Structures are given as structure tokens and as C-alpha cells.
Amino acid sequence: MVRRRAISAGIATEVGNHTSRATGITANLRNGGSLESAAVMANHASTRTTQLYKRHRENIRLDEVETIRM
């Protein structure tokens, strides 16, 4: 759905649901949200998974996010 909407809006960068999810988690952590609450919101079984997004001092590259396949 996200990809389809981005294409119809003329956005050339490839995005998807996980891109939005990663952006939300990163923004939450960057704005002072706790790792534990971000893990709950992301439905992660472990905060270790959520810690992958805790690189808020660096930019997470889109190609890194898109390597995650569910």
C-alpha cells in the first residue's frame, strides 16, 4: 500500500511498509521514547531487535532497511 501511494504521488525513492515502520521507531527513539515502549509499539518480542533502530545519531540508509525480509 505504501509503495503504491508513493508511486502515485510521484515519489521516485523506493519505499515500503517497513520503511515507514523503521522511520517511526527511529523517530520515537530520537524524540526520547524508551526502548521498551518502542519495542511494544513495534510488537518486537525482544528489545534486542528494537536496538537495531537505536542508531539515531546516524542516518539509517534505505538499503539497510530493505534488506529485512519477513
Rounded (5°) CA angle 15-16-22: 95
Q: What is the pLDDT of residues 15-67, one digit of tens each?
A: 888 888 888 898 888 888 999 999 999 999 999 999 888 765 556 666 666 67
Which of the four pLDDT bands, split at 50, 70 and 90, describes residue 2?
Answer: confident
- Phi, psi (rounded to 5 degrees) for 66: -70, -10
Residue 59 has a pLDDT of: 61
| CA of residue 57 relative to chain centroid, distance | 15
Q: Domain boundaries in the chain?
A: 2-65
Model confidence, pTM = 0.62
Residue 13 has a pLDDT of: 81
